Amino acid sequence: MDATQILNLHMDENDSGADTVRGYLKALLTRLWEEEESFSGKRPFGNSGWQYDVMTALVKGGAVAGDLSDDEYKELLDFDENGARSAIAAAIAAL
């Protein structure tokens, strides 16, 4: 999957309010820009674990291998973390 396809992957409901990976990364960068040294890398949108919102989108979209729970929440159980980090790095570069 190329970087543009990754940027266009759908995001489930998340604290940034973004519908796509592109929107999520833009919201994250905007928050960093606005908050400057007050930016919280641990809780940029109020909750920790925010990177898993993006990682889940990558698994659901087929960009990286992984497993999701069978319940209604479809939580991320296991995934190719190195592949996910590389995919997001490529997507950021494509912005």
The domain spans of the chain are: 3-94
pTM of the model: 0.89
pLDDT at 10 over 90: yes
Segment 1-19 shows an average pLDDT of 96
Average pLDDT estimate for 43-60: 94
Tell me, what amino acid is at 58?
A: L
pLDDT, residue 76, reads 92
* Pairwise CA distance, residues 54 & 79, whole Å: 12
Q: Is the pLDDT of residue 89 over 90?
A: yes
> What pLDDT sits at residue 72?
83
Radius of gyration of the chain (CA): 13
As given in the structure block, the two tokens for residue 23 are 């929107």
